[in-house]
């Protein structure tokens, strides 16, 4: 036994720790360093699925039915396999339309119907209250086991009941972290962080107890199972059939049930969809959450078997083995920790469930009534945010008190597992309308109402009533013989259907009634305009983005009214910030200057929906605007227009993109042309200049000779010599221009013959020897002993050599010029380099010197060139399959090289 | 809904899991045998379960699949405009 004070102190210390975690997370969120914005926290928060029911109830179930505790976790695993497809769509829808709860989801999908929202809320509350009671019962039972000799809780007065105070503390927590401020996204950072933390605590505690039982009380798993096999009563727990026919239908039903509840339980919808920070987090959560469930179930069977072996079959309540085993073995600290684990499993569920349910109750039940009753919509500039928060807090307290009352009235009657399954079956009724709404456009408001009502009534009749009867509040004869003795109305064998257990029987009938009513009534009439528009927005959510989604609204509104509405329900400061942000996005100065168009109305309605739910938001907007009712044809037309606009804007985008590209091409071509034109001009001026210089001197000398008839013969001879030289220069210039033109146009003649490069280089050097001597430059020639023979035009190659040599001669300093000519050869070809010690090529001009008409601006020396030598030489080298280049980074001076390939065939005429 | 290869794989895995955990395949494991001292039936259940989770984790975290999904998600994205043709050479 443990001291009650110790257990109470530990529990409250733990709850304080929870407050601290939530507070810390809220503070971090305010400074922008969110702890829940990561996939691991998200996955752990999903584990709120594992409640006290898992923690205590699974062991109880395993002790009586073997593997029957598993379908409740296999179903969610299968759902998670489809999570990336189905849940992601749900999250996308919820984010796009500011959905705040499962009731809001259903209502919004079927035309924002307040009636539907109210019905879903009602079903959720009726279904969930027993489930909350179950958590309180688990905590209370655990407390009794630890502190009371014999472990049986006496029916204490509420003022001395631990569960009552636990409920109060949890209500406080939910109010502080679940309803502190109105948020248009309905997100609670602190709460989610605390839930993730609780998930870790309960997993660690359960695993520790498991390890203790398997390795502390027994000698490992093998030992435990061997001893189990030795007891005939327990043997069957390890088998599927367990001696009789296996109830496949029940197995199937439980899996289906848990698949629905892992998505549609209000708390699951809250953490999975509403609290989701980023869609991408789902990617990791879908496998981490099943892994979590696997881990927490790993020791369920061993603990159950261990307890049965330890205490003897039927000697102790199996649902308490997690606590009673460590306690019986004298491990008090472990027992206390196990209790804290169970406490965290229970509190996590209670907190999220009450926050989720209270949001529904305040938005979908209380607010619509208030709006009707007090004419809140018409009263002046009153701020309703405080009222909204007040309603929500009251709803939290109300739900918890209901849970506590239920626990006191019915708690002793039923085992944990049965209560949980009744709740599961209630929320499973949401499945057809939600899933149908996400993938089928034909569902209507009336269909959804009919489906939910039919399913809910069938659930109440076939499952809830019998459970009440079994608690002793109703005559059992009603169950056994049917109402008024009508056997075909027996709740557990409706229409005489037999062979199912109560749960499967109820699930079958309620789902059948639900689906048939939903589909049947939906097909009875075509959807109205509003239903059709919401159906489009939900089903095709992935095909729309915020910018291009159609706006299904038509009418007249007033900006001032809309602004006032926002201020009243979102708070003045928040409303102003939101609307100013919106104004900025659409390019208007401030909120006052906004045009009251359909998009603004839609924006306001979406923001309000985040605070008060879509149905109430619809009613509020409708109260300040003059609206026209849309017919289904209008919806189709609006959709058509939207998609046409989208198509047009896409086409326009395409056009402008290709236009841009064409413009860029044209601009590039134009620049090219301009630069060529400039080069041509430069060349023309340089050529005319070149032509004019010799012409001027020829003319001057000729005039001198013409005027002076008595000129001495020697003088006249000298003049004539100069005239001849100048004429030669003119001829050379003209020849080069023609040569270039010919080569470029492809009309040049090539006489291919075997070329001995050694001899050719020697000849070129000899030809230019005179020029170098004049400039007092030294020429050094490095030749190999033997050079291969090429197939080329020897005259052209000589032209290249002469050009390079004369260039070198032009640029070397005089005196002191040094020129090196090198001939090297390898297997592929022959390389000739001419290096000088002149000024070299200016950095940046390395490529330009090969352009036609380009002349380096080096002053007078260059005036002799035509700017055609290098381009012509390069053309020649390339014509024979070689290349000509400027050797980079040879300093000082310049080193031009060309390379010519050896002929591929030894003999052959390569005349082109 | 089932555009990407990844989504189709997930659906296939779901169907596979549903079949494995139901009649009649689950009954095949119900034998009076033990592996490493652990009865076959519970062991098989947990191993199947773990295998399913591992396959899911592999599908979700595999980068190539992530790429395929991303492409499937944004069919509107155009290929990059081709670079403008090189200016004509002399």
Residues of chain A contacting residue B36, judged by C-beta atoms under 8 Å apart: 222
In the prediction, which pLDDT does A592 show?
Answer: 75
Residues of chain B contacting residue A225, judged by C-beta atoms under 8 Å apart: 34, 37-39
- Across the interface, whether the CB atoms of B81 and A239 are under 8 A apart is answered no
Residues of chain A contacting residue B32, judged by C-beta atoms under 8 Å apart: 239
Q: How many CB atoms lie within 10 A of CB A64?
A: 17
Residues of chain B contacting residue A301, judged by C-beta atoms under 8 Å apart: 42
In the prediction, which pLDDT does B83 show?
Answer: 41
- Across the interface, whether the CB atoms of A291 and B53 are under 8 A apart is answered yes
More confident residue, B89 or A580: A580
Residues of chain B contacting residue A287, judged by C-beta atoms under 8 Å apart: 53, 56-57, 60-61
**Secondary structure element (H or E) that encloses residue A450, with its range:** helix A445-459
Contact between residue A342 and residue A202 where contact means Cβ atoms under 8 Å apart: yes
Q: Which two tokens stand for residue B75?
A: 């069919």
Give whole-number Cα distances, B23 to A1, A247, A503, in Å. 46, 10, 19
Q: What are the pLDDT digits (tens) for A690-707? A: 778 788 888 888 888 888
- Across the interface, whether the CB atoms of A84 and B7 are under 8 A apart is answered yes
ipTM above 0.90, yes or no: no
- What mean pLDDT is predicted for residues B51-58? 92
pLDDT level of residue A544 (50, 70, 90 thresholds): low
pLDDT level of residue A196 (50, 70, 90 thresholds): very high
Residues of chain B contacting residue A67, judged by C-beta atoms under 8 Å apart: 41-42, 45
Residues of chain B contacting residue A262, judged by C-beta atoms under 8 Å apart: none
- Across the interface, whether the CB atoms of B7 and A78 are under 8 A apart is answered no
- What mean pLDDT is predicted for residues A34-61? 88
Give domain limits for chain B. Answer: 5-70
CATH homologous superfamily of A4-376+390-414: Sodium/glucose cotransporter (1.20.1730.10)
In the prediction, which pLDDT does A150 show?
Answer: 60
Give whole-number Cα distances, A880 to A735, A795, A830, A883, A902, in Å. 22, 13, 12, 8, 10
Q: What are the pLDDT digits (tens) for A244-268? A: 667 788 888 889 999 999 999 999 9
Contact between residue B30 and residue B41 where contact means Cβ atoms under 8 Å apart: yes
Among the partner residues A81, A84, A248, nearest to B17 by beta-carbon distance: A81
Compare all CA atoms of chain A with the CA of B54 and give the residue at the minimum distance.
A287
pLDDT level of residue A135 (50, 70, 90 thresholds): confident
How far apart are the CA of A496 and the nearest CA of chain B, in angstroms?
Answer: 25
Closest CA to A114 of A458, A461, A360: A360
In the prediction, which pLDDT does A292 show?
Answer: 95
- List, in order, residues 6 or more apart from A273 with CB less than 8 Å away: A87, A90, A91, A94, A99, A105
Residues of chain B contacting residue A668, judged by C-beta atoms under 8 Å apart: 84, 87
Give whole-number Cα distances, A462 to A125, A479, A510, in Å. 18, 10, 8
pLDDT level of residue A158 (50, 70, 90 thresholds): low
- What mean pLDDT is predicted for residues A866-881? 81
pLDDT level of residue A295 (50, 70, 90 thresholds): very high
Class of domain A644-743: mainly alpha
pLDDT level of residue A129 (50, 70, 90 thresholds): confident
How far apart are the CA of A260 and the nearest CA of chain B, in angstroms?
Answer: 14
User: What phi and psi, each to the nearest 5 degrees, are found at residue A904?
Assistant: -70, -35
- What mean pLDDT is predicted for residues A338-342? 91
How far apart are the CA of B19 and the nearest CA of chain A, in angstroms?
Answer: 11
Residues of B with CB under 8 A from a CB of A: 1-2, 6-7, 10-11, 13-14, 17-18, 21-23, 26-27, 29-30, 32, 34, 36-39, 41-42, 45-46, 49-50, 52-53, 56-57, 60-61, 66, 73, 76, 81, 84-85, 87-88, 90
- Across the interface, whether the CB atoms of A290 and B13 are under 8 A apart is answered no
Q: What is the pTM of this model?
A: 0.70
Among the partner residues B45, B66, B81, nearest to A70 by beta-carbon distance: B45
Q: How many CB atoms lie within 10 A of CB A493?
A: 19
Q: Over 60: is that where the pLDDT of A791 sits?
A: yes
How far apart are the CA of A295 and the nearest CA of chain B, in angstroms?
Answer: 10
Compare all CA atoms of chain B with the CA of A282 and give the residue at the minimum distance.
B60
Q: Over 70: is that where the pLDDT of A861 sits?
A: no
Contact between residue A111 and residue A318 where contact means Cβ atoms under 8 Å apart: no
B interface mutation test: which of A42, A246, A287 has the most B CBs within 10 A? A287
In the prediction, which pLDDT does A136 show?
Answer: 85
pLDDT level of residue A120 (50, 70, 90 thresholds): very high
Q: How many interface pairs between A and B have CB atoms less than 8 angstroms apart?
A: 116
**To the nearest whole percent, how much of chain A has pLDDT over 70?**
90
Nearest-angstrom CA–CA distance, A788 and A469: 113
Q: What are the pLDDT digits (tens) for A136-150? A: 888 888 888 888 766
Q: What are the pLDDT digits (tens) for A706-729? A: 888 888 888 888 888 888 888 887
**Secondary structure element (H or E) that encloses residue A792, with its range:** strand A789-792
- Across the interface, whether the CB atoms of B38 and A225 are under 8 A apart is answered yes
What's the burial of A705, exposed, middle or buried (CB within 10 Å: 0-12/13-18/19+)?
middle
In the prediction, which pLDDT does A588 show?
Answer: 79
Q: Over 90: is that where the pLDDT of A773 sits?
A: no
In the prediction, which pLDDT does B64 show?
Answer: 56
Residues of chain A contacting residue B39, judged by C-beta atoms under 8 Å apart: 225, 229, 238-239
Q: Over 60: is that where the pLDDT of A454 sits?
A: yes
Nearest-angstrom CA–CA distance, A72 and A852: 84
Which of these CATH numbers, 3.30.70.1110, 3.40.640.10, 3.20.20.140, 3.30.565.10, describes A750-901? 3.30.565.10
Average pLDDT, chain A: 82
Compare all CA atoms of chain A with the CA of B89 and give the residue at the minimum distance.
A672
Give domain limits for chain A. Answer: 4-376+390-414, 429-547, 551-630, 644-743, 750-901
The CB-based long-range contact list for A649-654 (8 Å cut-off, 24+ gap) reads: A650/B76
How far apart are the CA of A660 and the nearest CA of chain B, in angstroms?
Answer: 10
- What mean pLDDT is predicted for residues A858-873? 61
Lowest mean pLDDT among A333-342, A407-416, A797-806: A407-416
Among the partner residues B41, B49, B61, nearest to A240 by beta-carbon distance: B41
In the prediction, which pLDDT does A182 show?
Answer: 66
In the prediction, which pLDDT does B76 show?
Answer: 40
B interface mutation test: which of A71, A72, A81 has the most B CBs within 10 A? A81
pLDDT level of residue B82 (50, 70, 90 thresholds): very low
SS3 readout for A468-528: HHHCCCCCCHHHHHCHHHCHHHCCCCHHHCCCCCHHHHHHHHHHHHHHHHHHHHHHHCCCC
A interface mutation test: which of B33, B45, B60 has the most A CBs within 10 A? B60
β-partners of residue A885 are: A897
More confident residue, A271 or A158: A271
- What mean pLDDT is predicted for residues A667-680? 89
Nearest-angstrom CA–CA distance, A136 and A826: 94
- What mean pLDDT is predicted for residues A117-137? 88
A282-293 burial string, b = 16+ CB within 10 Å, else e?
A: bbbbbbbbbbbb
In the prediction, which pLDDT does B85 show?
Answer: 42
Q: Over 90: is that where the pLDDT of A207 sits?
A: yes
A interface mutation test: which of B10, B67, B83 has the most A CBs within 10 A? B10
- Across the interface, whether the CB atoms of B21 and A287 are under 8 A apart is answered no
Q: Ranked by mean pLDDT, which of A435-444, A479-488, A617-626, A643-652 comes out on top?
A: A435-444
Residues of chain B contacting residue A669, judged by C-beta atoms under 8 Å apart: 87-88
How far apart are the CA of A229 and the nearest CA of chain B, in angstroms?
Answer: 9
- Across the interface, whether the CB atoms of B88 and A661 are under 8 A apart is answered no
- Across the interface, whether the CB atoms of B52 and A439 are under 8 A apart is answered no
pLDDT level of residue A415 (50, 70, 90 thresholds): low
In the prediction, which pLDDT does A547 show?
Answer: 52
């Amino acid at each position: 036994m443990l001291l009650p004070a110790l257990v109470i102190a530990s529990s409250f210390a733990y709850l304080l720790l929870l407050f601290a975690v939530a507070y810390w997370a809220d503070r971090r969120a305010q400074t922008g360093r969110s702890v829940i914005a990561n996939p691991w926290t998200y996955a752990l928060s999903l584990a709120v699925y594992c409640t006290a029911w898992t923690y205590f109830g699974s062991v109880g179930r395993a002790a009586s039915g073997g593997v029957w505790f598993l379908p409740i976790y296999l179903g969610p695993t299968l759902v998670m396999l489809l999570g990336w497809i189905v849940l992601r769509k749900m999250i996308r829808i919820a984010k796009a339309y500011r959905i705040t709860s499962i009731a809001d989801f259903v209502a919004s999908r079927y035309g924002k119907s307040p009636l539907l929202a109210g019905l879903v809320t009602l079903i959720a509350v009726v279904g969930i209250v027993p489930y909350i009671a179950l958590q309180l019962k688990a905590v209370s039972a655990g407390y009794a086991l630890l502190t009371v000799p014999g472990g049986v809780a006496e029916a204490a007065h509420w003022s001395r009941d631990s569960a009552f105070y636990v409920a109060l503390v949890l209500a406080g927590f939910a109010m502080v972290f679940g309803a502190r401020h109105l948020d248009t996204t309905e997100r609670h950072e602190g709460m989610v962080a605390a839930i993730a933390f609780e998930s870790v605590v309960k997993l660690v505690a359960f695993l520790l107890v498991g390890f203790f039982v398997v390795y502390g009380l027994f000698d490992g798993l093998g030992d435990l199972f061997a001893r189990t096999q030795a007891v005939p009563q327990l043997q069957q727990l390890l088998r599927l059939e367990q001696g009789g026919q296996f109830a496949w239908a029940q197995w199937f039903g439980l899996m289906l049930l848990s698949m629905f509840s892992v998505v549609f339980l209000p708390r699951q919808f809250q953490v999975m969809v509403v609290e989701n920070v980023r869609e991408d987090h789902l990617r990791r959560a879908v496998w981490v959450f099943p892994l979590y469930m696997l881990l927490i179930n790993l020791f369920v069977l061993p603990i159950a078997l261990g307890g049965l072996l330890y205490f003897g079959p039927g000697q102790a309540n199996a649902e308490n083995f997690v606590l009673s085993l460590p306690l019986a073995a004298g491990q008090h600290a472990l027992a206390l920790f196990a209790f804290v684990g169970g406490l965290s499993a229970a509190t996590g569920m209670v907190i999220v469930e009450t926050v989720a349910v209270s949001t529904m109750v305040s938005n979908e039940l209380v607010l619509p009534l208030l709006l009707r009753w007090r004419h809140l919509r018409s009263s002046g500039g009153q701020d309703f945010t405080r009222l909204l928060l007040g309603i929500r807090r009251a709803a939290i307290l109300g739900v918890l008190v209901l849970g506590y009352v239920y626990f006191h009235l019915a708690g002793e009657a039923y085992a944990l597992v049965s209560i949980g399954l009744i709740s599961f079956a209630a929320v499973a009724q949401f499945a057809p309308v939600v899933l149908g709404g996400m993938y089928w456009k034909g569902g209507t408001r009336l269909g959804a109402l009919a489906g939910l009502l039919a399913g809910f009534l069938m659930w109440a009749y076939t499952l809830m009533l019998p459970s009440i009867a079994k608690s002793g509040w109703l005559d059992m004869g009603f169950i056994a013989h049917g109402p008024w003795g009508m056997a075909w109305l027996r709740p557990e064998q409706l229409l005489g259907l037999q062979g199912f257990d109560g749960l499967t029987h109820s699930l079958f009938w309620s789902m059948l009634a639900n689906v048939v009513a939903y589909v049947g009534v939906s097909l009875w009439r075509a959807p109205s305009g509003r239903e059709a528009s919401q159906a489009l927005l939900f089903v095709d959510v992935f095909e729309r983005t915020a910018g291009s989604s159609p706006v299904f609204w038509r009418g007249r509104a007033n900006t001032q009214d809309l602004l006032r509405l926002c201020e009243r329900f979102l708070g003045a400061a928040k409303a102003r910030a939101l609307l100013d942000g919106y104004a900025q996005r659409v390019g208007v100065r401030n909120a006052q200057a906004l045009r009251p168009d359909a998009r603004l109305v839609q924006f306001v309605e979406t923001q309000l929906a985040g605070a008060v739910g879509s149905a109430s938001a619809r009613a509020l907007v409708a109260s300040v605007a003059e609206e026209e009712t849309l017919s289904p044809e209008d919806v189709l037309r609006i959709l058509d227009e939207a998609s046409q606009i989208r198509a047009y804007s896409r086409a326009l985008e395409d056009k402008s993109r290709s236009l841009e590209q064409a413009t860029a091409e044209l601009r590039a071509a134009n620049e090219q042309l301009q630069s060529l034109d400039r080069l041509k001009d430069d060349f023309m001026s340089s050529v005319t200049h070149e032509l004019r210089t010799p012409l001027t001197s020829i003319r001057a000398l000729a005039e001198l000779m013409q005027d002076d008839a008595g000129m001495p013969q020697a003088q006249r001879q000298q003049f004539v010599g100069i005239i001849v030289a100048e004429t030669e220069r003119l001829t050379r210039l003209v020849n080069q221009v023609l040569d270039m033109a010919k080569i470029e146009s492809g009309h040049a003649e090539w006489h291919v013959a075997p070329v001995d490069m050694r001899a050719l280089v020697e000849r070129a050097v000899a030809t230019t020897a005179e020029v170098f001597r004049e400039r007092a430059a030294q020429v050094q020639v490095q030749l190999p002993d033997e050079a291969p023979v090429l197939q080329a035009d020897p005259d052209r190659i000589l032209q290249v050599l002469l050009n390079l040599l004369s260039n070198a001669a032009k640029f070397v300093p005089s005196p002191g010029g040094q020129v090196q000519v090198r001939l090297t050869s390898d297997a592929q070809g022959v390389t000739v380099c001419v290096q000088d010690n002149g000024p070299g090529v200016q950095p940046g001009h390395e490529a330009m010197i090969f352009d036609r008409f380009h002349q380096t601006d080096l002053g007078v020396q260059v005036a002799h060139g035509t700017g055609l030598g290098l381009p012509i030489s390069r053309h020649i080298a390339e014509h024979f399959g070689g290349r000509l280049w400027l050797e980079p980074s040879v300093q000082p001076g310049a080193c031009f090289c060309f390379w010519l390939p050896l002929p591929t065939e030894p003999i052959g005429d390569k005349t082109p | 809904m089932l555009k990407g290869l990844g989504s189709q794989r997930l659906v296939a895995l779901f169907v596979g899991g549903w079949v494995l955990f139901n009649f009649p395949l689950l009954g095949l494991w119900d034998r009076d045998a033990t592996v490493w001292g652990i009865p076959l039936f519970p062991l098989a259940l947990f191993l199947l379960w773990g295998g399913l989770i591992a396959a899911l984790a592999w599908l979700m975290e595999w980068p190539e699949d992530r790429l395929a999904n991303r492409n499937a998600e944004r069919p509107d994205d155009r290929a990059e405009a081709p670079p403008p043709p090189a200016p004509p050479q002399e």
